[in-house]
Amino acid sequence: AAHLSRGALRKAPQHLDGETVFMNALCAAYTTAAVAAIDLYSDLARRATRLLAVAPKLRGKDADIMVGILLVEDAQSAGPGEMASDRSTRRLFERLVSLGAVRELTGRPTFRLYGL
């Protein structure tokens, strides 16, 4: 629906009368959305591959757990882990950012969220 234009939505009632203008616009919107999804997938796959490549360089206690969480979740805060303190987790995420494996998503100085 985000890829449908306003003009195509105005022609939606004409579709009930047998006109195909709305169906053509709907197919074009599906195509645009599919291309956007493929682009997003390729970007996320590239970032996940980069994260897996730098994972052996990490030395934190919860590094393997955090890498797994980052691969599964959209975003992760730098709070305390199961075995690590919140300070060591923050250092882990700062290291991941410096290696280019993750990025900081919020842009805030406190309560930062990190993700691919």
What is the full per-residue pLDDT of the chain (116 aa) written as tens digits? 676 766 666 666 665 566 677 777 778 888 888 999 999 999 889 989 988 888 888 777 777 888 888 888 888 877 766 677 777 778 888 888 888 888 888 877 778 788 88
Measured CA distances, 43 to 68, 73, 76, 100 (Å): 18, 16, 18, 14
> Rounded distance, CA 57 to CA 80, Å?
20
> Rounded distance, CA 114 to CA 22, Å?
41
> Rounded distance, CA 22 to CA 10, Å?
9
pTM of the model: 0.68
